[in-house]
Amino acid sequence: IEARLASGPLAGRRIVVTSGPTHEPIDPVRYIANRSSGAQGTAIARALVALGAEVVFVTGPAEVPPPEGVTLVKVQTARQMHDAVMAALPADAGVFAAAVADWRVAKEATSKMKKTAGGLPVLEFAENPDILKAVAGLEDSRPALVIGFAAETDDVIRHATEKRARKGCDWILANDVSAGTGIMGGTENAIVLISDAGAEEWPRMTKTEVASRLARRIAEALEAG
Ligand code: CTP
Ligand code: CA
């Protein structure tokens, strides 16, 4: 009998992680997407597993393969991701690294849209559920630690601090994705951790190192209760 008893500072902790982009269908052959590779969310899930956590990994169609040792939930749309996250609760912490599409096409066409002489399609949009905000606002099953990301430009700390308040989450990991930083699509990240203690700038490091550091911080915070 092989007993797989997790050990480590996150043993016995259940953590939900969202990752990757979402795909929002237009018709049976077309969709709206974004450029998220899923690299940061995948690295975070891997780091949490390495510290002994039970991880539910809810991912959109990412470029990078999913981590091992997680409960894998694959979704396409923001609404599916929302439902999968809610079904995964209760949890001790939630890390929302997915690049969720803000809008979906209001009415998905059930048949392929065709070119018609002289006409152009007009897409009407509807707003997707805000998964991070919804989880942070739960009364009964809110995880003790709710963590979001914010890719910002210009006044990164101000934007991220406002976003943290708007979402009602505990921490925001903000990164400056201005042109020239090489963060988008790259292997490195430059993080500012926004919490009720203020803004803490992390040195520029790889996404794997960001993941390890975050996992350790989550373990400490849950430990401290
Ligand atoms: N997020 C989410 N559900 C959404 C949109 C965002 O869970 N529908 C989460 C992201 O995973 C991220 C955080 O919220 O952790 C911030 O995402 P971001 O796109 O920066 O926030 P928005 O409120 O959508 O603001 P913006 O207008 O800047 O896109
Ligand atoms: Ca957004």
Residues with CB under 5 A from ligand 2 (ion): 102
- In three-state secondary structure terms, 149 is strand
Q: How far from chain centre, in Å, is Cα 120? A: 34
28 annotated as belonging to a binding site for a ligand: no
Quick check: 182 pLDDT over 80?
Answer: no
Measured between alpha carbons, how far is 58 from 87 in angstroms, rounded to an integer?
11
Task: Please give the domain boundaries of the chain with CATH numbers for all domains.
Answer: 14-105+125-224 (3.40.50.10300)
CA of 78, closest atom in ligand 1: 8
Measured between alpha carbons, how far is 87 from 66 in angstroms, rounded to an integer?
20
pLDDT at res. 185: 67
Average pLDDT, the chain: 94
Q: Is 175 an annotated catalytic residue?
A: no
- Tens-place pLDDT, residues 155-170: 999 999 999 999 999 9
pLDDT at res. 176: 86
- Sorted by sequence, the CB contacts under 8 Å of residue 76 that are 6+ apart come out as 22, 23, 25, 31, 60, 61
- Sorted by sequence, the CB contacts under 8 Å of residue 123 that are 6+ apart come out as 26, 105, 106
pTM here? 0.95
Dist. CA 215 → ligand 2 center (Å): 24
Instruction: List ligand 1's pocket residues with C-beta within 6 A.
Output: 18, 78, 96, 98, 100, 102, 128, 130-132, 148-151
How many CA atoms are closer than 13 Å to the CA of 212, on its beta-carbon side? 4
- Tens-place pLDDT, residues 48-66: 999 999 999 999 999 999 9
| Cβ–Cβ under 8 Å, residues 47 and 214 | yes
pLDDT range class, residue 89, cuts 50, 70, 90: very high
